[in-house]
Amino acid sequence: MDKIEFEGYKYIDGGVCAAAGFKANGLNCGYNPDKNKNDLCLVVSDVICNTAGVFTQNKVKGAPVIVCQEHLKATAGKARAIIANSKNANTCNADGHEKAEAMCDLAGNALDIDSKEVLVASTGVIGQVIKIEPVEEHIEELVEGLSYDGNAKAANAIMTTDTVPKEVAVEFNIGGKVCHLGGMGKGSGMIHPNMATTLNFITTDVAISSEMLKLVLTETVKITYNCLSIDGDQSTNDTLIVMANGLCDNEEITAEGDDYEIFKKALYIVMMNITKMLARDGEGATKMIECTCKGAETLDTAITVAKSVICSPLFKCAMFGEDANWGRILCAIGYADAEFDIDKIDLDISSKTGTLEVCRNGAGVEFSEDFAKEVLKEEEIYININLNQGNVSAKAWGCDLTYDYVKINGDYRS
């Protein structure tokens, strides 16, 4: 998937290890029976980090989510490490909290740091008791293998039904200092807004206060991960953590201003790209779909309309069938919980093949079905809506709904 270039920001390798002072590692501890796949990882900063997190809004929360929230409260937004596993979500288990705390204790002891400075995340099957023994048996090996280029091993360890790892990092300048921000994510199914990340970890060497980090994360998640939907199911374990260790030695960002905006743009670039990667790798997906709604009076209206289209099962099926059934798009726009004049709407469907104009002023226009087929054959489809009622725009991301999605989720536990 091609990345959009942004002036002043350079894409680099390294994922969560792109920023100075961050090590990572991943290995197979036994949760995954396939010994070629990692299932346990650790991300560690050389120094304490200002840290912020965003978590699922599902009333059913995985024990790791609750433990993360408790630790961040206890440390006033500080952390040194994240330990995470795949294959078992540690959710809806009577001993889940105890096991999540035990993972933090094991990592803290092995790293010789306070276990409250360790955050924990799990993903996988819900409702199965997680064994702590695999972590106990492999924590020393995991810590000993930490390296400043261990990001790929860590990214591999959080994959479940993902077909590819998801990593993005950028380099940029703040106050004459070279800064870095990078992240990794996982997610393929059970992804729906508020928030739709499953597991995502972002690290940076920028110096920014905990308060500003919380603010910038809240602002950015609204226009990235919260605008992603794969299947309409909101996960119990959604976790997004951002750690900032300040090692690039910039003047700490403690208020909104130019430096804050530069950092915010870097965070957006990484989170937006991972969001698109999550959409492209949706379970069984053959197409990544991006919906842009412009010409709105407010940001909330633009987001609501774009998400309404992305979340429509009928629209997603039409994209899988490469059918330019634009009426399904108008239908999804029409039931969006926002105020606008439907008779002013223009709608195009595009891909790298070209742009198909299908609707003007709320009414259909003639188009070539043959050309429509060519446009929809591509792997990346763009839905462009113009409400023609304002100057605000927003994007949402998703994928098509395919036969393979049903196959994958028909026997997920096995």
Joined tokens for residue 226: 């919260």
* Per-residue pLDDT reduced to its tens digit, 203-217: 999 999 999 999 999
Indicate which residue of 91, 161, 197, 402 is catalytic: 197
For 138-180, write each residue's pLDDT tens digit.
999 999 999 999 999 999 999 887 888 999 999 999 999 999 9
Confidence of residue 20 (pLDDT cuts 50, 70, 90): very high
Selection from 52-66, 256-270, 275-289 with the highest mean pLDDT: 256-270
219-248: average pLDDT? 84
Q: Which domains does the chain have, with CATH numbers?
A: 10-280 (3.60.70.12), 288-410 (3.10.20.340)
Q: DSSP 3-state assignment of 370?
A: helix
The DSSP code for 129 is: P
Task: With a cut of 90, say whether residue 225 has pLDDT above it.
Answer: no
Mean pLDDT of the chain: 92
pLDDT at site 312 = 92
Tens of pLDDT, residue by residue over 359-376, are 999 999 999 999 999 999
Distance CA 371, CA 97 (A): 55
Calpha distance 412→1 (Å, rounded): 27
Question: What is the pLDDT confidence band of residue 195, given thresholds at 50, 70 and 90?
Answer: very low
- Does 275 qualify as catalytic in the annotation? no
Reported as a pLDDT band with limits 50, 70 and 90, residue 411 is: low
pLDDT value for 189 = 47
Q: How confident is the model at residue 196 (pLDDT cuts 50, 70, 90)?
A: very low
Whether the pTM exceeds 0.85: the reply is yes
Q: What DSSP character marks residue 344?
A: G
Q: What is the mean pLDDT of residues 95-116?
A: 98
Rounded to whole angstroms, the Cα distance separating 157 from 189 reads: 17
* Predicted local distance difference test score (pLDDT) of residue 238: 84
Structure tokens at 404: 């393979």
Burial class from Cβ neighbours inside 10 Å (0-12, 13-18, 19+) for residue 298 reads middle
What percent of the chain has a predicted confidence (pLDDT) above 90? Answer: 79
What is the DSSP code (8-state) at residue 121? Answer: E
- Find the DSSP H helices in 56-194: 63-74, 96-111, 133-144, 151-157
Instruction: Identify the helix (H) or strand (E) that includes residue 305.
Output: helix 299-310
Inform me whether the pLDDT recorded for 197 exceeds 50: no
The pLDDT value given to residue 280: 78
Q: Rg of the Cα trace of the chain?
A: 21
- Angle at 54 (CA atoms; ends 259, 408), nearest 5 degrees: 125
pLDDT at 11: 98
User: pLDDT higher for 294 or 194?
Assistant: 294
Q: How far apart are CA 23 and CA 39, in angstroms?
A: 17
